[in-house]
Structures are given as structure tokens and as C-alpha cells.
């Protein structure tokens, strides 16, 4: 698979890769794999949340806001 970047993007990728002690190709590969893994985790969390809601296990809207307000006051 080939991915094409603009010259500006390639420059940025090279700079970031150098900062991390790797090359641009590995940086892009690692980023793409992390994105796919995070997407899988997100989808699993959504499925888990939907299943919990289907079982009636959820927090009411007012309670969520009360918890947020308590956190912000802390």
C-alpha cells in the first residue's frame, strides 16, 4: 500500500520521526496501527455501553451533570 503526502506533510513527518528516533515510514505505520486499535477499543466500549443500557444499567442525565459539577468544584 502506498500513501502519498504533500512535501509539507513529509517534512513534518520527518521532523516528528527524528524527534522520536525513528523514520517517517515507521512513524506513519505505528500511527495507523494505533488508530485502528483505538477504533476497535472505542467500538467495543460502545457495544458494552449499549448492552448495559439494554439491561437498564445507565445513569440518568441529571446525575451525570451533578457528577460533572462536583468534579469541577473540586
* 54 to 23, 45, 50, 57: CA distances (angstroms): 47, 14, 6, 7
What's the pLDDT tens digit per position in 31-66? Answer: 999 999 999 999 999 999 999 999 999 888 999 999
Does position 74 have pLDDT exceeding 90, yes or no?
A: no
C-beta separation of 27 from 13 below 8 A? yes
C-beta separation of 21 from 15 below 8 A? no
pLDDT at residue number 48: 96
Amino acid at each position: 500500500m502506498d500513501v502519498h503526502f504533500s512535501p509539507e506533510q513529509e517534512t513534518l513527518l520527518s521532523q516528528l520521526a527524528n524527534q522520536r528516533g525513528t523514520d517517517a515510514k515507521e512513524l506513519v505505520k505505528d500511527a495507523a496501527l494505533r488508530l485502528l486499535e483505538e477504533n476497535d477499543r472505542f467500538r467495543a466500549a460502545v457495544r458494552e455501553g449499549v448492552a448495559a443500557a439494554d439491561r437498564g444499567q445507565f445513569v440518568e442525565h441529571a446525575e451525570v451533570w451533578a457528577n460533572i459539577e462536583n468534579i469541577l468544584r473540586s
